[in-house]
Amino acid sequence: MTPTVNQILRHPLKSIGRESLAEVELSAGKWLPFDRKWAVAHRRSKLDGGWAKKVNFLRGVAAPSLMAIETTLDTTTKSLTVSHPALDQITISPDTSEGEAALLEWLHELWPIDLPSPTHIYRASNAHLTDVPDPWISINSIASLKALSHRAGTDLSPHRFRGNIWIDGLAAWDEAKWIGKRIRVGDAVLEVKQQITRCKATMANPDTGHRDVDVLGTLNDLGHQEFGVYAAVVENGHVALKAPVEVL
């Protein structure tokens, strides 16, 4: 069975929402377009206009309720529609003061009162706000997810891991052997850089926003805390659902 692209996911607002894509154009040395383009800063954030560590932003590890948010980005108008099962849907322009104020008000119901208050939407001048400063894309395996689900005793949603590209048709945990190798995904070529170390955000159910599975404990039972890999795009290319994947 030839491995294929199973899902393509984008997260325009870091830790706040997700959306599925049917296709995407990847460019060498670049992030997945509009992935983690914006983030919501808080009163303790230390920002200088560039990339910043994740501790400076609202995150699902601090507020599991954020994990249940879904988004849709109109890349032409830069308008972002945000929804949550417990709240009314809103559409904002994250680069405007009106959009920023509307989002902060909307998040008031989801962000714990004992944590530093959200202050503004942040956009770095020269980077996307992924967990690492490098322009990498996260790659995950459906087979590894099924193996982890079996060990956890329940089906785990891919959305717990907030990855970009999910591949079907691999043997479980094969992607962990790709470090230093190149893979072709659709028409693009990526170089696999390192495994992804996971945090408590994965413990929250993305349908409800409540922690319900000890995903970290399950990973630790396997002797590690990694799931998925980071890869850098080295050759431009079009990637669509069901596109073939091969190790070069």
pLDDT tens column, 181-200: 999 999 999 999 999 999 99
87: nearest Cα among 159, 26, 17, 146: 17
Closest CA to 8 of 176, 237, 235: 237
Average pLDDT of the chain? 97
Domains in the chain, ordered, with CATH? Answer: 4-31+132-247 (2.40.33.20), 39-122 (no CATH)
Question: In the chain, what is the straight-line distance between the N-terminal and C-terminal CA atoms, in Å?
Answer: 17
What percent of the chain is predicted at pLDDT more than 70? Answer: 100
Distance from C-alpha of 45 to C-alpha of 206, rounded to nearest angstrom:
26
pLDDT, tens only, 212-243: 999 999 999 999 999 999 999 999 999 999 99
Q: Is the dihedral of CA 31, 18, 107, 160 positive or negative?
A: negative
Res 216: pLDDT: 95
Secondary structure tally for the chain: helices H, strands E: 3, 15
Assigned token pair, 155: 């089906």
Q: What percent of the chain lies above the pLDDT cut of 90?
A: 100
Question: What pLDDT shows up at residue 198?
Answer: 97
Q: Is the model's pLDDT at 1 over the cut of 90?
A: no
d(CA 204, CA 200): 8
Tokens of 163: 């990855």
Q: Which two tokens stand for residue 165?
A: 């590209």
99 membership: H or E segment, kind and range: helix 97-107
Q: Give the global pTM.
A: 0.96
- 158 three-state secondary structure: helix
Mean local confidence (pLDDT), 49-57: 97
Q: Which of 104, 101, 113, 129 is nearest to 39 (CA)?
A: 129
Residue whose tokens read 């990526």: 190
| Coil, helix or strand at residue 68 | helix
